[in-house]
Amino acid sequence: MKFFIVNSGSSSIKYQVIESASETVLATGLVERIGEAGGRLKNTAFPGTSDELDSVIEQPIPDHRSGMQLVIATLTDKTDGVICNVAEIGAIGHRVVHGGEDFSGSMRITDPVLQALERNIPLAPLHNPANLDGIRVAMEIFPHVPQVAVFDTAFHQTMPPRAYLYAIPYELYETDRVRRYGFHGTSHRFVAGECARLLGKQLPECNLITVHLGNGCSMTAIENGRSVDTSLGMTPLEGLVMGTRSGDVDPALHLFLKQNKGMELEAIDALLNKESGLKGLCGMNDMRDIHKAAAEGDVRAKLAVEVQTYRTRKYIGAFMAVLGRVDGIVFTAGIGENDPIVRAESLKGLEAFGIRLDPERNWQRSKEARCISAPDSTVRIFVIPTNEELAIAREMAQVLRN
Ligand code: AMP
């Protein structure tokens, strides 16, 4: 069966077609600048018989509906399409950012599910409406194909109240569901499963710390296979230092900036989400550029790496205290998978806790999941490439089986 996996943003649609049994990617692509003057679709097909085929279409794409239709026309194109007929698509999976407290797992999309997604819009006012647009268009175009929602928050619904409550008046939780939700759940769940396999255990037997360091960054404490704490909060701003997001700051910063800089709340929110993190510290948010600048003597670039890796180390310590016994620490996402300097700095000085990197393994380049700890490390350390689309495909297969 072929799965069509959709990640619908406010002006974009990212997609993949996956053959579910063999987990083979048949096509991947991105529609950008929906609703803007010049839209663009880039599709890469993997027909199997020859090398990959890239195609680019540039034309106005007024809305998600026309974007989705363009994708389908491309996928069924006679020369480089990977499907002959839309009827070959057996199920559609949608990445949904916020499931609130309504969803602790992936769900087949029905009217009550759509209503719950609507209800959760206040929790993710930028992301959930765009996800809903994608779902509605797909339901219109494929009325008879099962549609599955896979939530970024669902994996973290197992957190206990002591981890998800903020110490603010309890009524705000009761009336408005103000609490920690956590994100990147599909990625944390996926790499945890792969790590259990490498440890030769079942996931429910494993205590793990999963460290997702990409443009967005988060860390999860996993006890007996279940998320018990995570660094992102009610929104994807809390916790680690990210590409352009601050992570933890003193909440009184808002008042200070208002009183001393005359900034409105919206401007402060934009500052913390778009102008902070690595970018705020050194003007760059791509770790490759930051390392290059640091090697050339840029003091602020060096400082940005220090601040990010110190924060990561601090959270590793906190999550070790949460878990007590840790079987494995997993690094994943763009930085976590590719950056030996950040991995080494994030684990520096933790030898007394049984955490020892093998420097040679840490520096080896590979796209494969691998162990990078020293033989005498009591906590094993792994690099495991995340694969959100494959994770969604696996979730979909599970939902359709039930
Ligand atoms: P992601 O959000 O997982 O796609 O990660 C994107 C980020 O990964 C980029 O902004 C870079 O900072 C980082 N990245 C990608 N490749 C490398 C690399 N080879 N070394 C260091 N950082 C990298």
Q: For residue range 352-374, what is the model confidence (pLDDT) as tens digits?
A: 999 999 999 999 999 999 999 99
Q: Where are the domains of the chain?
A: 2-151, 201-388
Assess whether pLDDT exceeds 80 at residue 207. Answer: yes
Whether 215 lines ligand 1, by a CB cut-off of 6 Å, is: yes
Whether 2-151 shares its CATH topology with 201-388 is answered yes
3-state secondary structure at position 36? coil
What backbone phi and psi angles, to 5 degrees, belong to 238? -80, 160
CA distance 388 to 337: 14
What is the model's pLDDT at position 50?
67
Residue 49 has what pLDDT?
67
| pLDDT per position as a tens digit, 83-117 | 888 889 999 999 999 999 999 999 999 999 999 99
Give 234 Cα–ligand 1 centroid separation in angstroms: 25
Per-residue pLDDT, 83: 83
DSSP designation for 1: -
Does 235 score more than 80 pLDDT?
A: yes
* pLDDT value, residue 37: 87
CATH superfamily of 2-151: ATPase, nucleotide binding domain (3.30.420.40)
Closest ligand 1 atom, residue 386 Cα: 3
Over residues 41-75, the pLDDT tens digits come to 999 998 776 678 899 999 999 999 999 999 999 98
**Residue 294 CB: number of other CB atoms within 10 A?**
20
pLDDT at 10 over 90: no
**For ligand 1, is residue 339 a contact (CB within 6 Å)?**
yes
Q: Which residues pair with 221 in a beta bridge?
A: 209, 229
Which class does domain 201-388 fall in?
alpha beta
Strands 217-223 and 226-230: antiparallel
Name all contacts of 172-180 with Cβ < 8 Å and 24+ positions apart.
176/122, 177/100, 177/101, 177/123, 178/234, 179/234, 180/156, 180/230, 180/232, 180/233, 180/234, 180/238
Confidence category of residue 402, pLDDT binned at 50, 70, 90? confident
Decide whether any atom of ligand 1 lies within 6 Å of the 338 Cβ: yes
Q: Does residue 388 line the site of ligand 1, with CB under 6 A?
A: no
What is the average pLDDT across 13-25?
95
Mean pLDDT of 280-301: 98
Question: What's the whole-number average pLDDT of the chain?
Answer: 95
Nearest CA among 354, 396, 391 for reference residue 375? 354
Confidence category of residue 151, pLDDT binned at 50, 70, 90 = very high
State the pLDDT confidence band at 177, using cuts at 50, 70 and 90.
Answer: very high
Q: Is the dihedral of CA 246, 247, 248, 253 positive or negative?
A: positive
For the chain, give the percent of residues with pLDDT over 90: 92
pLDDT confidence bin for 224, thresholds 50/70/90: very high
Look at residue 81 in the predicted model and tell me its pLDDT: 73
pLDDT score of 245 = 96
- Give 281 Cα–ligand 1 centroid separation in angstroms: 17
Q: Evaluate if residue 384 carries a pLDDT over 70.
A: yes
